[in-house]
């Protein structure tokens, strides 16, 4: 894998092959971020492509103040937000997301595969922005500072949102598991 900084310099000089290498390095991360936000693979592919087109058009403005991955994530994030706003999908969630829980160990009794299945299902109930924040922090393991650069939320706001989202997820998981248990008992 070529050094990202060298590739960026080559792209800024007009080297399309270097940009192709940058795309290869970041396409899976960009696609997964966009897919988590829009929850539609066809839209995610199109928005990921739009992200790279926008990145190419503005690559000369990239100064290296942050990591390239943070910069491209920011473009992907706002491209997705604009898509969701345009399609009036930005605030879609259901009533489960308002449930809070006392028990923080809802998933501990399940095996890893079941845990992942329930967590993915619970994530689907969150608003797109909440789902993205939790994904950036826990799945992509970005720092609060990097998330601030991507989303333009303050670090304090991100911390509060992450706390609130974790509580929502826990409540959603409890509700899902309760429904699952009741379904099994009725069978």
At residue 117, the pLDDT reads 79
- What confidence tier does 87 reach under pLDDT thresholds 50, 70, 90? confident
Each domain of the chain, given as residue ranges in start order, spans 4-86, 95-186
CB burial of 62-96 (b: ≥16 within 10 Å; e: otherwise) equals eeeeeebbbbbbbbbbebbbebbeeeebbeebeeb
Q: 145 CB contacts (<8 Å, ≥6 apart)?
A: 155
- Residue found under tokens 């970041």: 26
Asked if 136 and 33 count as a contact pair (C-beta separation under 8 A), the reply is: yes
Helix (H) or strand (E) holding 8: helix 4-12
At residue 97, the pLDDT reads 34
- What confidence tier does 5 reach under pLDDT thresholds 50, 70, 90? confident
Helix (H) or strand (E) holding 107: none
The topology under which CATH files domain 4-86 is: Rna Polymerase Sigma Factor; Chain: A (1.10.1740)
Q: How far apart are CA 130 and CA 137, in angstroms?
A: 11
Q: Would the pLDDT of 13 be above 70?
A: yes
Q: 168: closest CA among 120, 122, 137? A: 122
pLDDT (tens digit, 9 = 90+) per residue, 151-178?
A: 999 999 999 999 999 999 888 888 888 7
Question: Do the domains spanning 4-86 and 95-186 agree at the CATH topology level?
Answer: no
pLDDT (tens digit, 9 = 90+) per residue, 66-79?
A: 889 999 999 999 99
How confident is the model over 122-145, as a mean pLDDT? 89
- Which one is the CATH code of 95-186: 1.10.357.10, 3.20.20.80, 3.40.640.10, 1.10.10.10? 1.10.10.10
pTM check: above 0.85: no
């Amino acid at each position: 894998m070529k050094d990202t900084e060298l590739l960026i310099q080559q792209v800024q000089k007009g080297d399309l092959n270097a940009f192709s290498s940058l795309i290869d390095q970041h396409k899976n991360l960009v696609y997964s971020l966009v897919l988590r936000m829009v929850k539609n693979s066809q839209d995610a592919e199109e928005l990921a492509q739009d992200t790279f087109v926008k990145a190419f058009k503005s690559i000369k403005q990239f100064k290296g103040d942050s990591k390239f991955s943070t910069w491209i994530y920011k473009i992907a994030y706002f491209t997705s937000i604009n898509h969701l706003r345009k399609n009036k999908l930005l605030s879609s969630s259901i009533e489960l997301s308002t449930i809070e829980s006392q028990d923080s160990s809802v998933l501990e009794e399940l095996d890893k595969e079941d845990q992942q299945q329930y967590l993915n299902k619970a994530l689907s109930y969150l608003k797109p922005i909440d789902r993205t924040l939790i994904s950036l922090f826990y799945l992509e393991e970005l720092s609060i500072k990097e998330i601030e650069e991507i989303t333009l939320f303050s670090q304090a706001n991100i911390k509060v949102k992450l706390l609130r989202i974790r509580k929502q997820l826990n409540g959603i998981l409890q509700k899902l598991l309760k429904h699952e248990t009741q379904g099994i008992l009725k069978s």
